[in-house]
Amino acid sequence: MNQKYQDLLTPYTFKNGIELKNRIVMAPMTNFSSNQDGTVTEAEVSYYERRSKGVSMVITACTYVTANGKGFHGEFGADNDEMIPSLTKLARSIKAQGAKAVLQIFHGGRMCPPELVPNGEIVGASDVPAENGGVSTEQPDVKPRPLTETEIEEIIEAFGETTRRAIEAGFDGVEIHGANGYLIQQFFSPHSNTRSDRFGGSLDKRMAFPLAIVDKVTSVVKEYATSPFLVGYRFSPEEPETPGITMDETLKLVDALADKELDYLHVSLFEFYSKPRRGVEDLEKSRIAYLQETIGDRIPLIGVGSIYTADDAHEAFESGVPLLALGRELIIDPDWVQKLADGKESDIVTEINKEKQEELVIPDPLWNVIIHTPGWFPGV
């Protein structure tokens, strides 16, 4: 192993005692490859097994906590106890390769395709359709129905119930998906949340739903987990819409989250060193730098975003984040971490090889999306 990269392969211990064997984790990525009934497929299990040997922790694709929260075709479910055997199969397949298994839990809200949810009725914080993605892109006249306060409380409970299922299925943790425009972010955003009750209006009220979910999930862990169990929270720093989430609003949310009983925060970025759009004084300082300043040493932050080479990872790690997530990079090269450990970092592949789907163990649905989405993956 090249000593330059040695720090990336050192262990990391969370405050609750769970130890990771190195600083590289697999980022959560939708793979569109589950069965129609919400159970995981053998192809999906093989895909995770192929990528769980080198990394210290695998964060799965998001799973829906209620039937009306299913956001993708081919998404696996965790909305009822009948899904526990399916979840168990997934957790075991990851852990058998030596990685910690973390289940990402979410509700798609206004981004859900109508054909995937009961009665075709999409719901959200308010009746504001999405401007980027979701059903409204193709059907702009389709608006989400605002959730009632009772339904909001039921969804908060559902996040707790899904956490219980994750514990029973043998996962090492859950990650609350508060990023990428889905329901939790929809409540935090002034674009998608125009409510005037206790869940909308001021910044503090827009934070009420995300923070209530955190409190519910952590309380369930205390009640049901018999050994240390991780709870993370993923967030997107900004939105392009006006009005939309700004960097200063996210820093206030992150400040509140850092004081909760969470084990880590996980920023969602396409580029690690991306800079803020608005809301802060210095637009030349990276979002990562702002986040680290706000968080301090209260809670670990997972950094992510186009970290393709060993040098990319080394440079990102030097910024001070204790953990790095690789997403597309591990689809392109499942042996990324092993090559680093073996001193073969120059052999790390950084572009998708269109001739090696079988060798890379990528399920057909995910492969088809990769191949037909120019610009998403290098080499396509």
Catalytic (active-site) positions: 182
CB atoms within 10 A of CB 69: 29
CB atoms within 10 A of CB 278: 11
| Residue found under tokens 């040493």 | 297
Integer Cα distance of 262 and 243 in angstroms:
29
Give per-residue burial for 129-150: e unless 16+ CB within 10 Å, then b. Answer: bbbeebbbeeeeebbbebbeee
Integer Cα distance of 253 and 245 in angstroms:
11
Residue 9 carries which DSSP code? G
Task: Give the residue among 307, 328, 329, 326 at the shortest CA–CA distance from 316.
Answer: 307
Cα dihedral: 304, 309, 313, 318 (round 10): -130
Structure-token pair, residue 143 = 């608006």
The number of residues in the chain equals 380
User: Which H helix or E strand runs over 94?
Assistant: helix 84-95
